[in-house]
Structure 1
Amino acid sequence: MNSKFSIIASMALCVILTACGGDLVDSERASNQSGEAPPVDTPSTIPTAAPTNTPPPAEELQPNPTAAPSSQPVATPTVEPSPSQAPAVPDREVTYTIVVEWDIPSSRENGSDLLLSDIAGYEIFYKKVDDPEFLKIDVDIATTSEVTISDLSAGRYELYITTLDSDGLRSQNSQLLSATIGG
């Protein structure tokens, strides 16, 4: 704190001496030669803080334009205003699923035993009543007794199942089943 005060006092003394046309070195010489300090007018106000450099207000700062851009321009995405209404949700087609279950056969059509090891798989045929042809799903696992048919539209469906044995023989078609889905 004392060094700050002495800097301020020295600055005030320099300002006074400069205003009187003297300098600090001459006044020190004068006080050394006569043994007395020369009379100094004391200003009525002593500054209490050193002046500070304050930057000009922000509005006065102007960027210096350059002749060429210093970097490549950057694209700025634009935001489109949102519509006043939410966009309509497109109609999604409702789809349905049918689960087809069956009992694993234990006998052949002639009445002889049908071992599980003799079954190669099953074929499931299905169609919408108005469609001309059946679609087929192959099931290659003998122990399977259920299939899910997905992505069906509303309507009436027909289906039947056949069993395939390990020799490639096909059983007769099961009874034709029908089901209405989706109303």
Structure 2
Amino acid sequence: MKKIVASVSLALVLSACGGGGSTTSGGSGLLPGDDGPNSVQPTPTPEPTGFSALIEWDRPTRREGEDEGSLLLDEIGGYEIVYRDITENIEHIEIVDNQSIIDRSEFELTALKPGRYEFRIAVFDKFGMYSDYSETAYADIGM
């Protein structure tokens, strides 16, 4: 029986999503400090609605077991990303089986709450055979 080698390694790129940027007001013709009846008030910057983490991995290229062999790109069925906020202890699973994402070897998790997260990933082939999970990667998000 062949087994997929879990040579999947993770890299995390963290960023805030939501509003952001600076506020500006157009030319109102008012002098500085003039709060006339038609003055333009700056629009407040919205609070971020969540954070995102870009998960990147190295595509595995071989199987292990009795009949070791290569693992071709078109044999990969997808990836299973398991992540959880350690403080809430709720595990989430994302199945990535879109071929364009498989080719790119990255996936963005969005709407994450601030916290300390752990991430693991496994690859599966088109026949449903899974690798072991990668080593756990940790990240502080929004903290």
In 2, the alpha carbon distance for the partners of 1:165 and 1:131 equals 32
The correspondence of residues 120-131 of structure 1 with structure 2, limited to 5 A, is 120-131=77-88
C-alpha contact 1:106 1:115 (8 A) present in aligned 2 = yes
Q: Which amino acid aligns with 2:81?
A: I
Partner of 2:53: 98
In 2, the alpha carbon distance for the partners of 1:96 and 1:146 equals 17
1:148 aligns with 2:108: yes
Partner of 1:161: 121
Partner of 2:11: none
Partner of 2:33: none
| Identical counterparts, % of pairs | 34
Residue 94 of structure 1 deviates from its aligned partner by 4.8
TM-score when scaled to structure 2?
0.59
C-alpha contact 2:115 2:140 (8 A) present in aligned 1 = yes
* CA gap 1:138/1:144 in 2 versus in 1, 3 angstroms: farther
Total equivalences in the alignment: 97
C-alpha contact 2:81 2:119 (8 A) present in aligned 1 = yes
Q: Which amino acid aligns with 2:95?
A: D
C-alpha contact 2:87 2:115 (8 A) present in aligned 1 = no
SS at match of 1:173: coil
The correspondence of residues 99-138 of structure 1 with structure 2, limited to 5 A, is 99-110=54-65, 111-138=68-95
Partner of 2:130: 170
In 1, the alpha carbon distance for the partners of 2:85 and 2:107 equals 17
Structure number having the greater helix percentage? 1
C-alpha contact 2:55 2:106 (8 A) present in aligned 1 = yes
* CA gap 1:130/1:123 in 2 versus in 1, 3 angstroms: same
Q: Which runs of 5+ in 1 are unaligned?
A: 1-85
C-alpha contact 1:109 1:171 (8 A) present in aligned 2 = no
SS at match of 2:64: coil
Structure number having the greater strand percentage? 2
In 2, the alpha carbon distance for the partners of 1:156 and 1:109 equals 33
Rg larger in structure? 1
C-alpha contact 1:95 1:151 (8 A) present in aligned 2 = yes
Residue 93 of structure 1 deviates from its aligned partner by 5.7
TM-score when scaled to structure 1?
0.47
